[in-house]
Chains A and B, each alone.
Chain A
Amino acid sequence: MKTPWTDQKIEEVVGNLLRTGVMLSAVVVLFGGIIYLARHGTEPADYGVFHGEPEELRTVGGIVRYAFSFHGRGIIQLGLLLLIATPVARVAFAVWGFAAERDRLYVFFTVVVLLILLGSLIGSSAGV
C-alpha cells in the first residue's frame, strides 16, 4: 500500500471495523432470537430472580458448542461475543497502526490495553 498511515487514516478504518462488527453481531443476535422465540415464545418469562446463566452460556467454548448445536440462546450469546470482540479488534488494529507509524510509545500503550482486555475475557471465561 502506497498511502502512508496517519492517525486520521487509522481512525477511518477503525470506524468501519466497528460498524461492521456491530452490524454482524446484531444480525447473529436477531437470527438466534428468532429461533429462541419460535421454540420458547410461549413459556413464562422470569428474570425477577437471579439464577445466573448455565455453564454452557458462560464460557467461550461452551457458547460456541451450544451455538453450533443450533440452540437459539447459544446463537444469541455467540452474537454477543462478536459484539464484545469488536472493541478488542479495534484495539488490536490500533497496535498494528501505531507500529506502522513507528510510534513505539503508543504501541506499548495499546498493547497494555489489549492485554487487559484479553486477560479479562480469557481469564474469566477459563472458569475462575
Chain B
Amino acid sequence: MNVLEFTLLLCSGSLLAGLVGSLTGLGGGVVLVPLLTIFFHVDIRYAIGASLVSVIATSSGAAAAYVKEGFSNIRIGMFLEIATTLGALLGAFIAVWVPTRGLAIIFGVVLIGSAYLSRKPRSAAEREVPQDALATRLRLNGSFPDTQGIRNYNVKNVPAGFGLMFGAGTMSGMLGIGSGAMKVLAMDQAMKIPFKVSTTTSNFMIGVTAAASAGVYLSRGYIAPGLVMPVMLGVLAGSLLGTRILVKAKTKWLRLGFSLVIVVLGIEMIYQGIKGMI
C-alpha cells in the first residue's frame, strides 16, 4: 500500500473511530489504538502517539461547546489537573519501559473496563451532600443550571477523588487515551459531583492531561507526522459529526452496539498481546 492509499483509508477509519467515540461517550482514543494496531498493523507506540494527539483535538474541540452551558466547574478541573498531569507524566515514562505486548494487554483490560463503566447505571443523585471541610476550603462546591433553576451542590471525598485522578492520568499517559470513564468515576462516584458536571468537567480536563505526556512522546519519536495527520483530522471530523447526531438520534441501541464492539476489540488486544502479535 502506498502512502496516499494508506492515508485515505486511515482517515476514513479514524472518522469512524471519532464518531464511535463521541456517540459512546468514551472518546476517540479508546477505539483508535485497536483500529491502528489490529487493522492497520501499526506499531503500538506509533498508535499511542497518534491517539494521544487526537485526544487533545477532540477534547478541546468539544469543550468549547460545553463551557457555554455552564456545567463544567473550572475550579474542580484545575485542582484535579494537578493529579492528572503528574499521573500523565508518570504514565508516559512507564510506557517507555513496558514491552509492547504488555501495553496491548493493559490496553485491552482498560478497554473492557471503560465499556463496563460507561454502561453501569449511575448512582442516584444525592441531592443533600453535607458540606465537607476540605472541599469548602478548596472552594470546590458549585452550582449549575437545572430545569428548576440554579442548583447548588457540595463535593466530598476530595483525597479519594484526587487519588483516582492520579490513576486516570497515569492510564492516559501510558496508553494515549483520555481516560474519560475513570475521570467521571472519580468525580461522579467518589466525589459525588452531579453527573452532568462530572462529564463536562472531565472532557475539559482530558486535553490538559494529554498535553502533559505529549511532550514526552514527541521527544521519544512516537509522534509520526505522516500517520498522525489523517488520524487527527479524521477523528476531529468524526467527533464533531457525532455530537450533531447525538442531539438528533435515539442512541440507546447504537451505544449498546458500540459498547459490544469495544469489548470485542479489548479481547482481541489481550489475545494478540498474549500471542506476542503486537
The contact string, 1 if C-beta is below 8 Å from chain B, for chain A 1-24, is 000000110111011101101100
What's the tally of chain A residues with a CB closer than 8 Å to chain B?
Answer: 68
B264 within 8 A of A: no
A to B contact number (C-beta, < 8 Å): 206
The residue in chain B whose Cβ has the minimal distance to the Cβ of A85 is B211
Chain A, 6-62, CB within 8 A of any chain B CB: 7-8, 10-12, 14-16, 18-19, 21-22, 25-26, 29-30, 32-33, 36-37, 40-45, 47-54, 57-59
Report whether A52 and B220 are in contact in the complex, using a CB–CB cutoff of 8 Å.
yes
Report whether B226 and A73 are in contact in the complex, using a CB–CB cutoff of 8 Å.
yes
Specify which chain A residues have a CB less than 8 angstroms from the CB of B233 in the assembled complex: 26, 29-30, 33
Report whether B223 and A80 are in contact in the complex, using a CB–CB cutoff of 8 Å.
yes
Specify which chain A residues have a CB less than 8 angstroms from the CB of B218 in the assembled complex: 58, 84, 124-125
With beta carbons under 8 angstroms apart, the residue of B40, B210, B228 that contacts A76 is B228
Report whether B46 and A19 are in contact in the complex, using a CB–CB cutoff of 8 Å.
no
Specify which chain A residues have a CB less than 8 angstroms from the CB of B224 in the assembled complex: 47, 53
Report whether B212 and A117 are in contact in the complex, using a CB–CB cutoff of 8 Å.
yes
Report whether B212 and A120 are in contact in the complex, using a CB–CB cutoff of 8 Å.
yes
A116 within 8 A of B: yes
C-alpha gap A29/B225 in the complex (Å): 9
C-alpha gap A105/B1 in the complex (Å): 55
The residue in chain B whose Cβ has the minimal distance to the Cβ of A36 is B226
A112 within 8 A of B: yes
B188 within 8 A of A: no
Specify which chain A residues have a CB less than 8 angstroms from the CB of B232 in the assembled complex: 26, 29, 80, 83
- By CB atoms of chain B within 10 A, which of A7, A22, A72, A121 has the most? A22
C-alpha gap A37/B208 in the complex (Å): 31
Report whether A106 and B75 are in contact in the complex, using a CB–CB cutoff of 8 Å.
yes
Contact surface of B with A, Cβ cutoff 8 Å: 1-7, 40-43, 45-46, 53, 56-57, 59-61, 63-68, 70, 72, 74-75, 78-79, 81-82, 85-86, 89, 138-139, 207-208, 210-216, 218-230, 232-233, 236
Contact surface of A with B, Cβ cutoff 8 Å: 7-8, 10-12, 14-16, 18-19, 21-22, 25-26, 29-30, 32-33, 36-37, 40-45, 47-54, 57-59, 72-74, 76-77, 80, 83-84, 86-88, 90-91, 94, 103, 105-106, 109-110, 112-113, 116-117, 120-125, 127-128
